[in-house]
Structure 1
Amino acid sequence: MTTQDDKAAIIAVMAEMSSTWARHDADAYGALFTQDATYVTFVGTYYSGRADIVECHRALFAKFLKNTELAGEITDIRFFGPDTAVVTGRGDTYKGATAPRVSKLSKVQTCTFVREADGRWRVAAFHNTQRKPLMEAISFKTAPGTIPAAQK
């Protein structure tokens, strides 16, 4: 049975992801993932395993994501038994003092969390998708049946 403590623990892991990112600490960021985690970037690159996730973020923090921070919101947490949860949210990277407004977050993210033997919740799978608002608007206009129920 999941509890409010489980939900709070998962929210804390998501907050720690932002904190470790802001410090550009690839090792600490990677420690939030299971040893065999998978990670799919918004450009479609697939990483397998914590070591791969750590090394790619070490390189990204040194170059393309240098001086960036994470902004995000959790839109849903659903538990599938006592040790598995799926978290859906929106996120983005940014530079500067002000995070983008929630409505401007350009990525949709799905994380599968598992509670490991040590009792800690970790990310077992992360998938990041770039939103295409113009394409969404065209789809919604030309095929209204594609509009998600939450937006109707």
Structure 2
Amino acid sequence: MDHIAGVEADTAAIRALLERARDAWDRGDGAAYGAAFAPDATDVTFVGTVYRGSAEIGRAHQVLFDSFLKDTRLAMEIVDIRFYGADTAVVVTRGDTYKDRPKKLGKVQTYTIVRGADGDWRIAAIQKTKRQGLMEAISFKFQPATKPSARH
């Protein structure tokens, strides 16, 4: 397989991985959600909670799916996928949870995704950040040089 075909196949596999994670969320299936993560993964929530390991991520999310996140769905838009070597990618997404229909995608997620020895891609780390649009706008107004060249 040539390099371009390999990158296209890896990009498709990463998109499929994130789709499986989203599908597990939508079904409220903590075990399946956790299975999208590497055994030693780290999940930093937008409130600052740190979960470690796929089993803990799955267990904690099942509790959330059964309570605060009951019947929620996950909206996700991939903003960027960048490869760092053959077995590592960083993916930036915008997303949010919803019940009836997606609202404004108010969170930004940064995923580190790795290919395991078995050849499968898994989430090694995720950092979720609640976007502060007003603070961003104020910063850009008073310090225009802080505005990124590409807005996501």
Could you state the TM-score of these two structures normalised by the residue count of structure 1? 0.94
Given candidates 50, 54, 57, the residue that maps to 1:53 is 57
2:143 maps to 143
For residues 95 and 18 of structure 1, the distance between their equivalents in structure 2, rounded to whole angstroms, comes to 14
Q: Which runs of 4+ in 1 moved over 6 A?
A: none
CA separation in 1, counterparts of 2:31 and 2:58? 6
Partner of 2:83: 79
Partners of 1:146 and 1:63 in 2: how far apart?
A: 39
Where does 1:123-142 land on structure 2 (aligned, <5 Å)? 123-142=123-142
1:99 aligned partner, one-letter code: P
Counterparts of 1:51 and 1:16 in 2: how far apart (Å)? Answer: 16
Per the alignment, residue 22 of structure 2 pairs with: 18
Q: Deviations over 1:68-111 (max 9, x none)?
A: 00001000000001100000010100001x223xxx20100000
Q: TM-score, with normalisation over the residues of structure 2?
A: 0.94
Deviations 1:27-76 (A, max 9, x none): 01100000000000000111111121011101100111001000010000
Separation (CA, whole Å) in 1 of partners of 2:112 and 2:82: 10
Equivalent residue pairs, number = 147
What is the 5 A alignment of 1:38-117? Answer: 38-96=42-100, 98-100=101-103, 104-117=104-117
Structure 1 gap segments, 5+ residues each: none
> By how many angstroms is 1:145 displaced?
1.1
How far apart are the structure 1 equivalents of 2:85 and 2:118?
17
